[in-house]
Amino acid sequence: MSTEVAVEKMDGAQAAQELAGLADVLARANAAYHRDDAPEISDAEYDRLKRRNAAIEERFPELKRDDSPSDMVGAPVSETFTKVKHAVAMLSLGNAFNDEDVAEFESRVAKYLGIKQGIAFTAEPKIDGLSLSLRYEQGVLVQAATRGDGETGENVTNNARMIDDIPQTLTGAPDVLEVRGEVYMSHANLAALNAAQLAKAAKPFANPRNAAAGSLRQLDARITKARPLHFFAYAWGELSEPLATTQMGAIERLAALGFSTNPLTGRFQGAKALVTHYRKIEEQRATLGYDIDGVVYKVDDLELQRRLGVRSTTPRWAVAHKFPAEIAHTWVEGIDIQVGRTGALSPVARLTPVTVGGVVVSNATLHNEDYIQGRDSKGGMIREGRDIRVGDWVEVYRAGDVIPKVRDVDVSKRKADSKPYVFPAVCPECGSPALREEGDSVARCTGGLICPAQAVEKLKHFVGRSAFDIDGLGKKQIEMFFHDKTLPIREPADIFTLAQRDAQQLTKLKNRDGWGELSAANLFAAIEAKRKIPLNRLIFALGIRHVGDSSGALLAGHYGSWRALVSTLDAAKDHAGEAWEDLLSIDGVGAVMAAALVDTFHAPDTRAAIDRLVAELDVQDAIANDTSGSPVTGKIVVFTGTLELMTRAEAKGRAETLGAKVSGSVSKKTDIVIAGPGAGSKAKKAEALGVKILTEVEWLALIGEAR
Ligand code: IVH
């Protein structure tokens, strides 16, 4: 920077202005490096700016800022929070978007439990902040952790101690008590904070959620202290003794212990009453003084909650009823086609930037060709058949964190010479034909492994947050390495040979532009750290169509090990037989997903790439949900005949929670058959094979659930 004023020649005003600028630039550099895995400046430049900041501060100590980069601990690479493994996983919630979804939720619960009606639920606002788990031992706050990925969060204890709503000590609490709730910032506090940010030439926060997250996740707890945050308690994790027998009772107990609980929490009977409360909360939304994005319903009876249990990462006993999406209007400046990791051609509208619910939106999905033309996937009309064109004035909407969508178009604002959008017939990236299979709503590039867009998207998915999540290897770096001539990453296995290949190069990574000794060493260390990978993450990382992160968890939970999964997929080649049936027996795995899995593993080139990858890894078996003490852990059980004490779904859910594998067919590998009245051929087969047969009552006694 040739325009830089020498520090010794600066006046106070220049110093203050430059300190503000440096705080901003360095904070952004940090965020780009850590949060976005996309460094914007070189290590050397970072160091130089930090030294300049320190020199200015030395000359003008009174101008040192609260958010001074000097107080950021260490180099940009070493500073992070320590990790905390949650004793009880922090769950997320399934969504309901309308009244029918809520009725559906109620009947799903009733059906699972085999109860006709009269189930009580609580309803409370869904706070738009970030969740926090507070651990108290003998009544003393010992740890606060963010949700993270639900299994492991970040230790933010020092910061949580700065929040007034969080008691430091409790009287009369269980010896071990983990209180969970939401940290949020009020509208008034956000306005004050943003005014202060602007006054010191710092960037204002886009919304209270970002402000709360940014304020809590500060390495310097003094910054957290200066930014008023609040906390509502609404759930709990590990407990040495129960808080109550109902959700409502537990919330009242937490309130009595000194926590803030939401005053709009109530107890209701049935979906209709829940929706009435939802409307009431919706009416008050604008005047609450803090952001909420829906209403959460929970089964009130905690024994019923326990029976309902958890499916993958969401409880069966709760649902979030979201408020309708926020909308805005803007122009379509262009339509681009993105090629996804499964080859899907996705049209994206490039928009004149517009604010939707506090976030600036400049891209929105147009889903597929039919959607652009005004048809749904069954050929019916949407938007009364209006198509969407470049140059159109459109309505966009955004619900929660999902990608914004284009909903409607105002054809009266359309120019006379506008032309309908023509969907490409070939992949814009590799030129291969794009084909739409029967029944598929999207066109897919048929280039497979030769399509660079698919390959690079697969790699980006592979390093994504729910997959390998490698520090310093984000989308930007994947793009760079993918096109690199000397040190390429073309398939996942290449990531794990990167350090070794670099060692054999003349020009080392550390000597390249944008890299340094530290950043290269850190990247190799971060990669090394992920050789050890939990099975569920590996399955998800492969990027197989229809296999999302919760499916990864289901498959890992069911098969336990990579070997067991692969031998099943190998044996299921023909989409038939015992192995195939076993795949389909998993609650949440259907024929479409099963076929995608099996076919992927039987495509020779893909399989070879998977094998090369796994040879580099140390795949961690799935840790079954602490079922070590369970009498049926690892056992293969089959339910047959009529069950009279629980529904089939609950019986299966309970058995799986206890570590058993529920199969649909009896073989010599079956350990226990639970036979109810009317059991037929399966019970006979079990008898012939000498498999243990229990009645439902005997089974319940075995698993300690005698009713
Ligand atoms: S209950 C198993 N209640 O929403 C139940 N969550 O989308 C765990 N949230 O991660 C959550 N307000 O951060 C619950 N009243 C409320 C909530 C709430 C906000 C957040 C929470 C959770 C997310 C799930």
Percent of the chain with pLDDT over 90: 69
Percent of the chain with pLDDT over 70: 95
The residues annotated with a catalytic role in the active site are 126
Residue 701 sits at φ, ψ, to 5 deg, of -65, -40
Contact indicator for 134, 180 with CB cutoff of 8 Å: yes
Residue 2 pLDDT: 43
Q: What is the arithmetic mean of pLDDT over 153-159?
A: 93
Please give the DSSP secondary-structure letter assigned to residue 449: G
Which phi-psi region, left, alpha or beta, contains residue 391 (left: φ > 0; alpha: ψ -120 to 50)? Answer: left
d(CA 510, CA 516): 4
Bridge-partner residues for 315, per DSSP? 310
Q: How far apart are the first and last CA of the chain?
A: 77
Local confidence band at 33 (pLDDT 50, 70, 90 cut-offs): low
For residue 455, give the nearest of 372, 556, 339 by alpha carbon.
339
Residue 322 pLDDT: 93
- Which residue's structure tokens are 């940010």? 197
CA of residue 88 to ligand 1 center, whole Å:
15
Local confidence band at 427 (pLDDT 50, 70, 90 cut-offs): very high
- Give the β-pairing of 318-322 and 95-96: parallel
Give per-residue pLDDT as tens, 331-355: 999 999 999 999 999 999 999 999 8
Q: What is the arithmetic mean of pLDDT over 606-615?
A: 96
Bridge-partner residues for 127, per DSSP? 292
Which DSSP string do the residues of 313-353 spell out, in sequence order?
TEETTEEEEEPPPEEEEEEEEEEEEEE-TT-BEEEEEEEEE
Q: Is the pLDDT of residue 75 over 60?
A: no
For residue 621, give the nearest of 559, 529, 549, 528 by alpha carbon.
559
Bridge-partner residues for 673, per DSSP? 638, 693
Q: Is the pLDDT of residue 38 over 80?
A: no
Q: Is the pLDDT of residue 676 over 50?
A: yes
Residue 76 pLDDT: 34
Residue 360 pLDDT: 83
d(CA 517, CA 402): 38
The helix or strand, by DSSP H or E, that contains position 534, with its residue range, turns out to be strand 532-534
Please give the DSSP secondary-structure letter assigned to residue 24: H
Q: Is the pLDDT of residue 45 over 90?
A: no
Q: Is the pLDDT of residue 685 over 90?
A: yes
Relative to the CA of 315, which ligand 1 atom is closest? 2
The runs of H, that is alpha helices, within 139-237 are 157-160, 187-199, 208-216, 221-225
Q: What is the arithmetic mean of pLDDT over 490-507?
A: 95
Relative to the CA of 265, which ligand 1 atom is closest? 15
Average pLDDT along the chain: 91
Q: Is the pLDDT of residue 387 over 90?
A: yes
The runs of H, that is alpha helices, within 203-310 are 208-216, 221-225, 247-256, 270-284, 302-308
Residue 401 pLDDT: 61
- Low-confidence winner among 566-570, 660-664, 689-693 (lowest mean pLDDT): 660-664
CA of residue 319 to ligand 1 center, whole Å:
9
Bridge-partner residues for 269, per DSSP? 120
Report the alpha-carbon angle 621-626-629, nearest 5. Answer: 120
Please, what's the b/e burial string for 433-457 (b: 16 or more CB within 10 A of its CB; e: otherwise)?
Answer: ebeeeeeebbbbbebeeebbbbbbb
Give per-residue pLDDT as tens, 167-201: 999 999 999 999 999 999 999 999 999 999 999 88
Residue 540 pLDDT: 96
- Using DSSP's 3-state secondary structure scheme, residue 573 falls into coil
Q: Considering only CA atoms, which residue is closest to atom 13 of ligand 1?
A: 131
Please give the DSSP secondary-structure letter assigned to residue 246: B
- Low-confidence winner among 306-310, 321-325, 425-429 (lowest mean pLDDT): 321-325
Which residue did the predictor score with more confidence, 45 or 552?
Answer: 552
Residue 72 pLDDT: 64
Residue 679 pLDDT: 86
CA distances from 588 to 310, 312, 467, 553, 651 (A): 13, 9, 20, 11, 15
Residue 74 pLDDT: 34
Count the helix, strand and coil residues of the chain and give each as a percent rounded to the nearest 5: 40, 20, 40
Tokens of 12: 């106070």
Our mutation pick for probing the ligand 1 site, out of 105, 296, 306, 550, counting the most ligand atoms within 8 A of Cβ, is 296
Pocket residues: Cβ below 6 A from ligand 1: 91-93, 124, 126-127, 131, 147, 182, 234-235, 296, 315, 318, 320
Q: What is the arithmetic mean of pLDDT over 526-530?
A: 95
Q: Is the pLDDT of residue 706 over 80?
A: no
Spell out the domains of the chain, with CATH numbers in brackets. 1-33+54-64+325-450 (2.40.50.140), 83-319 (3.30.470.30), 451-490+497-530 (1.10.150.20), 534-620 (1.10.150.20), 636-702 (3.40.50.10190)
Sign of CA dihedral 640, 643, 649, 654: negative
Q: Considering only CA atoms, which residue is closest to atom 21 of ligand 1?
A: 131
Which phi-psi region, left, alpha or beta, contains residue 150 (left: φ > 0; alpha: ψ -120 to 50)? Answer: left
Our mutation pick for probing the ligand 1 site, out of 86, 92, 322, counting the most ligand atoms within 8 A of Cβ, is 92
d(CA 592, CA 177): 43
Local confidence band at 223 (pLDDT 50, 70, 90 cut-offs): confident
Residue 39 pLDDT: 61
- Low-confidence winner among 45-54, 604-613, 647-656 (lowest mean pLDDT): 45-54
Sign of CA dihedral 247, 252, 253, 255: positive
Residue 435 pLDDT: 93
Q: Is the pLDDT of residue 596 over 90?
A: yes
